[in-house]
Structure formats: C-alpha cells, structure tokens
Structure 1
C-alpha cells in the first residue's frame, strides 16, 4: 500500500480539500483510497504534533491539551496506536492508497529533525511514499496569510510584510523540499505549481484515478478574502491603545460573522510593493526551478493584473462603520431569533397547562421577535421560514381557544394531537408546521416531544436577555 503525504503548502486550498476528502470518505474507500482517521479529521494535524519533541511547543500542543512532557508522550503513544489500527483497517479493506493531508507539515516542521521523525513514523508502514507539495508565488501566499491572520486575531498592517523574506522558513521553498527529500528521497517528492493546479480536488482525482462521475460531496471554497475594512476593525479590537501592541483576546471578543460580511474591496497590497516583495525570492526560485523541473520560474510569478493600488495604507484611517453596522444588525437579529425560540417554548408550556390565552400571548411575542430578525439580510431567509411556522402555530392556538369557548362544559384540548381534531375550523384541522428547524428538522407536523421542562425554560431565560 502506498502513502500519499500532502504537506500543503498553506494557502493553497488545503482546508477545502481536506473537508472534501473527509466528507467523501466512503466514496473514496470504495475506490481504494483511505483518508487517514488516526491523525484527526478533516485536517490530519496530529502528525505534526507528534513529530515534534515535547519541548518544541507550537499551537497544536494547546489545541490538544498537551501541557507537560508526560502529556506529549501519552498523546504520541495514543496517536501511534490509532495510526497502526487505521493502517491495518485500510489494508483489510483492500485500499491501495493511504492518504494524509496537513498543511501543518509545511508550517510547523521547519527543521530537518522534525521531518526525519515524521519519516520514522510513517515509512515502516508502507511499500512506497510520495510527498505532494503545492507551491504558490510567495507574495500571493503572504497576502492570503494576512487575511487569515486578521480572522484569527493578528494585528495586520504594512509591517506584516517585513517578515516575508527568503530567510523565513515559511516562504523558503527550496529548503522545504530539500528537508522532505532528505528524509524520503528526492524521487518521492512531487512539487505542484499552484498557478496551474488551483483545485487540489481535481488534481488528486486525476492522480488517484478516481471516477469523475461518482456521487461526491461538493468541493467548497473556504477561507475567501476579506474586506480591508474588516481587517481594520479587527485591528482595532486586538490593538492595545496605550502601547499600540497586539493583545490576546478570547475568541468570544474577536469572532463575528466574517464569512457573511460584504467584501467590496478585498485586502490588497499595491503592485509596486508586491513586485518588490516577490523580487526578494527571485534567486531562491531560480534555484528551485533548476533542482525541481516540475516547477518553472514563471510558475512562481503572480498574476500581476490582480495587483492594483492596494489598500494596506488605508487600514489606520479606514471607516469601518458599515462593517460595525452589519455586525450589530446580525447579532441583534440572532438575539431576536433566540428570544423568539424562548417565547415559543413558553407558549408550548402554557398550552400544555391549558392556559391558551397565555400561550397565544407568548406566541405573538415570538412572531414579533422573528419579524425584527427579518430586517437583516443575512438572517432574512431563515427568519421568513420560522415566521411562517410561528404564524401557523398561532392560528392553531386561536382555533383551540375558539373550540374551548364553543364548548364551555368540555375540557380545553392542550396537546398538539387534540388541537388538530378540535373545533372543526380550517386552522384547527391543519397540521402544525415545525416550530423550529433545529428541533423539527423540517418535518411536517408539530414536534412530538413533550414541552420543555421548567428547568430548561429557566435556563434559557437566564441565557437570553429579555425585554419587558
């Protein structure tokens, strides 16, 4: 069985590719390709963590809760045992290729001994190993990294590009390939020019001989660029005013709906600056092209038409009012939807207790909250759907109350099934729509689950601020 080790590099579509591999695990197995499960999914990040010594900490240690040398040793032992079981399962299933994908093998394994440890882990398990590495012009990689950095709380400005230089292992492609060639053999390393192969999914479909007509989950674009005003807003959140130095913030205070924010002017560096930065790597890239004929010097030249005036110089004075307005609206809409859900649960509780007037009042409150959320474009579709469900429920409650008034000597129906048979009106006889897509999963009819217990209602009341 052969191992394909896809090591990135970062910013070459790795996240989308890994999600595609993970979501198509079964379809791939039917074709003899086994996507590694032992190193975490969708990104096989654990491999880079166990390839480092306990004293060579990186952010993956914190991600997996590794605090001490003993923690690292136990984590390594568990991961290696899981790896052995996973390889055995792949062989038993008749797989011809075992596939590992992690861009952290590029960004975290910056020294030869780290790559050598990786080789010591994987080589004994396979008949052959191929290292596949996508390479992109360094300035393109740096600009994409700046957008990602803003997403995760880095302070981004023109000084960011001071670190984009040949001595930085992140951008030193010849040294990167040499490390892996030293550990696995030059013939085992396959560099791929990203400018010619911008869709890793399609590249590997061809390389692996996958059926192009098979029923695969879609290939989705991930980590798209962000508007420079979003970056300016993130800078304002993470910058310490007194010292002008970045500060660490919990994700709760620096995470908002970035993927939904309008991107009218993507973060961009000016062409003159971009050419100066890329020129720093000319000598390295010429050397790379001589050593690895799969890559030409032209493959590491950007599409200069994508670089215009740039907007990094605008970050300090950017007017991010439209972004703040969008974020506030989105948060308020989300809060309104949560308040609406609480009101629906209260309405269901009141209905179960036979208090139909109270149930109607709570349902009207829910509808009012959803109507507020409908005013926000990014929430309008979901809010419209829920509004229809909530109105249907209100009509049913009115029908139940009318039925109870028409038969004052009878007992007012309180359950969903009784309500459907009561009163003889059109609304009363109509099957209730799902009150919440998350709980009813889009099924027709009211959820059959019992009303939320009072303890749950109390919890929700505490979690969701109420308006009097």
Structure 2
C-alpha cells in the first residue's frame, strides 16, 4: 500500500483541494485512491500534525483544542488510521493536512512516519512567491486566536524575517524522511490553469476525473478573509 500526503503549505489553494477531494470521494475511489475522513474535519486531517508535532509547539488547531494531547486521543487516532488502511479498497490512500507543514524537527517527522505506518509515502507540497505568501498568511492570522506568546519560532510570527517563508528549509525534511517529494509552483499553475485542482490531479495521475465543476473550487482566497480551515469544525467555524 502507498500513502500520499498533501501538506499544503497554507495559502496555496489547500482549502480548494480539500473541498474538491471531499466532494469527489467516490470518484477518487473509483480512480484507485481512498481519501481519509478526518475525525475533526473530514477533508483536513488536523489530527496528523497534532500527534506529530512536539507537545510544546502550538498550531492554530492545538490552540483551539486548549489541552495537551492525551493518550486516549492518541490511541483513538492511531486506531482510526489503522482501520482506514485495513478497510481501504484501493492500493493508494490519501491524506491532506496543511498543518503538517509546521513540522520542523526530526522527531516530528519520525512520529508522522510511524503514524502513517507505511514504507511507501509520497509528499505533495505547493509553494508561492514568499512576499505574496506572507501577506496572505499574515491576513489569515488576524482571523484566528493568537497564541499567548508570539516569538520568532511561532506559527504566528509574520515579520519579514519569519522562518515560515524559508520554504526550502521547511520542505526539505519531508524529502529526507520520505524520499518522494513533489513541489508545485502555486503561482505558475494558477496562471496556467486558473486554479490548483488540475495540477493536483495531474500529480495524482488521475486527470481523467476532472469535470466542468473544477472552476467552482477557488476557496478561501485572501480577499474573502475567511478563517483558516485549521480552526474549522465539521459544522462551522470556531
């Protein structure tokens, strides 16, 4: 069995991709890919980074949870992932979670690998022009609760020297841990295709499933000022 991890990064069309995947689960399965259904948000698998990242590091979702990760929670998520793998009717499974792009340290990537529990793992990431990305991300941060402390290591640190715009440093550990990393230029594919869905399906090797509804999936653009999907629930936003 092979796993595909879509890790964002944030503000690169991730919400659009996730909603498309959510709306086309049966089509994906027919094309040979099973899409995990998250326990918090069906299409945004925040539990992956929650269990992988160090306990002392905050993310928007961990901040929303408001409590440390318990053993019961960890065991439940692991059980859900194992059940998903066992019941999948395809040889390829797919996860999507931009929170994974917050991972930075070797132990975090090892925990992620253990959580997925497969040797064959491919990673897909998008990146965009740093200045434009930072402006979009900073606007997004205004719509979510701020962490108690914002230092230069925080996910909410949006000064020009932030670690968040060093995309190569952020993404290279995924290549080191999993070997197979595909990085897509968000700006280029947006200009060429009018959105990110065609490029994502192309990397998956299932362009043939694309329908006329692709144009409908351009969600959570900066102008909309919507809260991050990291802090959404199945029934609404928090």
Structure 2 contact 27–209 (Cα < 8 Å) conserved? no
Number of paired residues?
210
What residue is the counterpart of 1:59 in the other structure?
60
SS in 2 for 1:99: strand
Shift of 1:53: 3.8
Could you tell me how far apart the structure 2 residues matched to 1:135 and 1:55 are? 26
Among 208, 222, 225, the alignment partner of 2:222 is 225
What residue is the counterpart of 2:175 in the other structure?
181
Rg (Cα) greater in structure: 1
Structure 2 contact 60–145 (Cα < 8 Å) conserved? no
Alignment of 1:234-253 (within 5 A): none
Structure 2 contact 60–144 (Cα < 8 Å) conserved? no
Could you tell me how far apart the structure 2 residues matched to 1:89 and 1:219 are? 31
Bigger RCO of structures 1 and 2 (CA < 8 A, at least 6 apart): 2
Shift of 1:146: 2.6
Alignment of 1:150-299 (within 5 A): 150-152=142-144, 163-165=159-161, 168-185=162-179, 188-198=180-190, 199-210=195-206, 211-212=208-209, 219-226=216-223
Q: CA RMSD in A?
A: 2.7
SS in 2 for 1:223: coil
Alignment of 1:8-407 (within 5 A): 8-38=8-38, 40-64=41-65, 67-68=67-68, 71-90=69-88, 93=89, 95-106=90-101, 108-122=102-116, 124-126=117-119, 128-152=120-144, 163-165=159-161, 168-185=162-179, 188-198=180-190, 199-210=195-206, 211-212=208-209, 219-226=216-223
Structure 2 contact 4–122 (Cα < 8 Å) conserved? yes
What residue is the counterpart of 1:4 in the other structure?
4
What residue is the counterpart of 1:268 in the other structure?
none
Q: 1:144 to 1:53 in 2, by over 3 A?
A: closer
Shift of 1:63: 3.2
Shift of 1:196: 1.8
Shift of 1:212: 3.7
Shift of 1:139: 0.4
Shift of 1:116: 2.1
Q: 1:24 to 1:193 in 2, by over 3 A?
A: same
Could you say which structure has the higher helix fraction? 1
Write the deviation string for residues 119-142 of structure 1: whole angstroms up to 9, x where unpaired: 2222x335x211111111100101
Q: 1:142 to 1:34 in 2, by over 3 A?
A: same
Q: 1:176 to 1:32 in 2, by over 3 A?
A: same
SS in 1 for 2:188: coil
Taking structure 1 as the reference length, what is the TM-score of the superposition? 0.41
Shift of 1:38: 4.3
SS in 1 for 2:34: strand
Write the deviation string for residues 313-371 of structure 1: whole angstroms up to 9, x where unpaired: xxxxxxxxxxxxxxxxxxxxxxxxxxxxxxxxxxxxxxxxxxxxxxxxxxxxxxxxxxx
Structure 2 contact 134–158 (Cα < 8 Å) conserved? no
Could you tell me how far apart the structure 1 residues matched to 2:177 and 2:61 are? 23
Could you tell me how far apart the structure 2 residues matched to 1:21 and 1:162 are? 30
Write the deviation string for residues 39-81 of structure 1: whole angstroms up to 9, x where unpaired: 642211110001024344433234345x24xx52211110000
